[in-house]
Structures are given as C-alpha cells and as structure tokens.
Amino acid sequence: MTELKTPENFARTIGELKKSGWKSVVVKEEIRKNAVAKITAGEQLFDGVLGYEETVMPQLENALLAGHDIVFLGERGQAKTRIIRSLIFLLDEWMPIVSGSEINDDPYAPVSRQSRELVAQHGDATPISWVHRSMRYGEKLATPDTSIADLIGEVDPIKVAEGRYLSDELTLHYGLVPRCNRGIFAINELPDLSERIQVGLLNVLEERDIQIRGYKIRLPIDLMLVASANPDDYTNRGRIITPLKDRFGSQIRTHYPLDIETEIAVVRQESRPASIGSVQVRSPKFMEEIIATISHLARANSQVNQRSGVSVRLTTSNQELLCANAVRRALHAGETDVAPRVSDLDALAASTAGKIEIDAVEDGREGQIFQQLVRGAVLQVFKQHSDLENLRAVAEEFSEGVVVQTGEDIVSTDYVALLEKMPALRTSVNGLTNGDESPAAIASAVEFVLEGLHLSKRLNKDATAGRAVYRAKN
C-alpha cells in the first residue's frame, strides 16, 4: 500500500495544534458530524452497496446518528463486511496523535502512561503525528482460538527483561482493541468467540476501558465497536452471551437482493470483465436474468440449506463461469465475438457446488437439484419474455419436420442460417436481441427460445454429451 504523507501545513506540536483551532471530539461524535454532512448534502453514505436504500440504510443512518455500537445480522454474502469497512469514510481524513503513541493518544488528553509522561515533560512543545483514517480501523475474524491477548493485550516479556517491574504499565503490549483507540474496531462472526473472550469485551462496550491480567490500571478507550453475526448464532440459545448482546446499541438485519434487477446490478459491479484478449463477450440480458433467478430459486428451495444462505457470490461466480465457458468455446471455434448460451449453463455445476448446501438427500441428488434450479430459472425468464402467439408459430415450423441441433461445437453462423428457414423463430429472436444482429447474440437467443419451448412442453429435446436436438412433439 502506498504510504500516505502528512500535508506539510499541518501542526507539528501541541502548541501549534492549539493555535490552529483544532478541537478534540470522541469518535462517535466525529462520525455523527460527518454523517450529518453527507445526509444533508444528499450523498450516499457508502458507495457500492446496492439494494439497501429502503431497508438497511435508514436503520444504519439512525444508529450512526444515535452514536451506537452496531451489530449486523445476516447470512454470508450480504455486504456486512463491506458496509463495516466503509465506515472509515465517515471519519475525518487526518487525526493528530502524540508522536510515538501505540494507541493513538489524543494530544489534549493522553491515556497511556508513555504519552502522559511525554506531555507532562514537554508541554506545548510535545511533538505530534497525524494518522490517516485508513489506519484508524481494525478488524478481527472471530475464531475459537482468539485470546484476550489478541484483543486486549498481554505482558511483553522483552520489556520485562529490559529491567521493568511487572507492575509497570510500560511492560504492556497492547492488543487490537486499544490500538484502535479513537477509531473503529470490527469483529466478524462475533458468536464464534469463546464465552470468556466475550466477557472480556464487556468493559470495552460498557465502561469504555480495558483490564489486562491483574493490573490495577484503567485505560479509557474511545472506540466504535461494530460486529457481524449469523442470526441463528446471535441468540441466547446460540453462542452469544446475553450481557454482551445487551451492550450493542443497534441491531441491523441485512438481506439478499429482493429483486432480480438488484441482483443483476450487484453482479455487474462485482464480476470480473468477461472479455479477454481478442475475444469480446456480450452478455444478453435474458442470460443475466437466468443467472440471477437461479440464486433466487435456490433461496426458496426447501432442499437447500437456508441457514448457510445462498450468497450473491454464487450469482457472481455463476456469471463469471458462464462467460468463461463462452470464451473457451469461442477460442476452440476460432470466434472473436461470443455471447453466453443456454448450452453453457451446464458449466455452472462447478461454481454452484461449493456455494450451496443441499440438505441430506440420497447420493447423486445434488446434481438433480441443480438441474431443477437451472430449468426452473430458464422457464421463469422465458415466460417473462415470450409472446404466446409467436411461440405457436415457431412450434408449427417444427411440425414441418425441422430438427435443430445445439451445443458447444455449433458455431454462431449456423444459428443465423437457421433463421433464414424459420421466419417465426426470427421474430422471437429479434424480440430478444434488441437490435443486436451479431451472430453471437442471435445464437444465444435461438438456444434460449428452443429451450424455453421445450420446458413449456412445446418441443421435444434429446440431450447427450453436451449436445441437444430439438424436434416437434410426437
């Protein structure tokens, strides 16, 4: 990471800081002030968080304006960590500290012994440093082996060996929490902390101080504490102690995208560019809708474990792999312009398997459930785009003995040639491509129409080894 340089016109001593008119405020007041400024200006608090405008964001704004510590409850892949990390942009860009302080001591009210002694000795000549807001954030993924030393601190044996007494505060090695003094500290998956460690956090939240082993010291910590947790674990029946629950000011429930359009917007934002080298990938809207609908159907499927959640990462990974399969197909066929097709959907088994958990079923049923999700998504999107009258005309064209083969080895121009013999099919395709006459877009639309007709029981389909043959119903 590029080192940030302190602007040259900033104060360098406590005396200069006083002359500049800088005033010290607690971190939650600082966040409130900057949140008020953003809201008043009509700006979004955070960039890149979609679908929460009417649900999560109003609750979050309330919590910040109230000066609360916050816990976000939600399944995986609901942007909890992204929101938490974005809180740093509500801090002032630069903050002064006593030079050399390990815990960001306030020049006007230092709390560590080292800084107190320095200020007492030098007064207004005490040197100060400036800390960028990116350095005022700390984060810990809670694990069962997390210790009090990790979070709060421990005796440093090297400092003891240097001749200090164990009772000397200067022998302490501060943990993550005090090192985030005057900043934000986040704990992901809070209930995974052991109960004794959760107890250790009570003083931080309530008395705003820390205690290390048997030391008779009080170290007032100015901190905003934010946590994330799975809703099932964050109950007194789960793995969270009630006194710790009681000390968070606000509890905010996150959720997955509520509609297909939001899911697609998130995927477009998060997925890697599909085009690579000389191969240009165009992703038809109906294929994006199919990918998003697969995730939405999985979230409503009784055979999918909903406790573990169906993350938006599934949608993103599926979109990326769908396009990757299209690129691979283009490379083998020598094409430079390609669009994902229905025949590429079989590749999604690899990206789906690790991201959804199927409840106990017979061996081999996982693949069947995946196929059910894919077929259900294709049919649902097809119904939204289909013209019933025109579909009848397409089915009638097949009744004249037309047989169409699809698959990875069928080049895009073959689908274009097919439309010359099937005017009704061309009409359906034109309604899907939105004026895009490229062979890649036409090939994708043709496969979508054929598969939709099959799933709506208007065509027969024989599928083997990556190929499919569509013909009229017997």
The last residue of one of the domains, among 219, 253, 287, is: 253
pLDDT for res 200 = 77
- Cα-based distances in Å from 202 to 190, 234, 246, 464: 13, 16, 10, 62
Instruction: Give the structural domain span for 398.
Output: 260-472
Asked whether residue 315 falls in the same domain as residue 352, the answer is: yes
The DSSP annotation for 311-377 comes to -HHHHHHHHHHHHHHHHHHHHHHT-SEE---GGGGGGGHHHHHTT--B-S--TTHHHHHHHHHHHHH
In angstroms, the CA 52 to CA 254 distance is 8
Here the tokens at position 246 are 């009681």
Asked whether residue 144 falls in the same domain as residue 167, the answer is: yes
For the chain, the C-alpha Rg in angstroms (whole number) is 30
85 domain-assigned: yes
Q: DSSP state, 123?
A: G
Residue type present at position 200:
G
141 domain-assigned: yes
Question: In this structure, what CATH number is given to the domain that contains residue 84?
Answer: 3.40.50.300
Asked whether residue 345 falls in the same domain as residue 458, the answer is: yes
Asked whether residue 312 falls in the same domain as residue 177, the answer is: no
CB-based contacts of 181, cutoff 8 Å, min separation 6: 103, 104, 105, 111, 221, 222, 223
Asked whether residue 227 falls in the same domain as residue 349, the answer is: no
In angstroms, the CA 374 to CA 378 distance is 6
The last residue of one of the domains, among 253, 270, 285, is: 253
Residue type present at position 463:
A
357: three-class secondary structure by DSSP: coil
The last residue of one of the domains, among 212, 229, 253, is: 253
221: three-class secondary structure by DSSP: coil
The DSSP annotation for 224-247 comes to EEEEEE-TTTSSTTTT--HHHHHT
Asked whether residue 154 falls in the same domain as residue 283, the answer is: no
pLDDT for res 1 = 43
pLDDT for res 153 = 77
6 domain-assigned: no
Total number of domains constituting the chain: 2
Asked whether residue 44 falls in the same domain as residue 137, the answer is: yes
Asked whether residue 60 falls in the same domain as residue 167, the answer is: yes
First-last CA distance in the chain: 66
162 domain-assigned: yes
Asked whether residue 234 falls in the same domain as residue 317, the answer is: no
Instruction: Find, among 177, 173, 175, 199, the residue nearest to 186 by Cα.
Output: 177
pLDDT for res 163 = 62
463: three-class secondary structure by DSSP: strand
Here the tokens at position 415 are 């689908």
Asked whether residue 319 falls in the same domain as residue 242, the answer is: no
pTM: 0.86
pLDDT for res 53 = 92
Q: What averages of pLDDT result for each successive group of 10 residues across the chain (474 residues)?
A: 67 94 95 95 89 94 95 91 95 95 94 90 95 94 85 72 62 84 94 84 73 66 92 74 87 95 95 92 95 95 83 94 95 93 92 80 73 94 87 88 90 92 91 90 95 93 88 84
244 domain-assigned: yes
Asked whether residue 234 falls in the same domain as residue 326, the answer is: no
Asked whether residue 138 falls in the same domain as residue 196, the answer is: yes
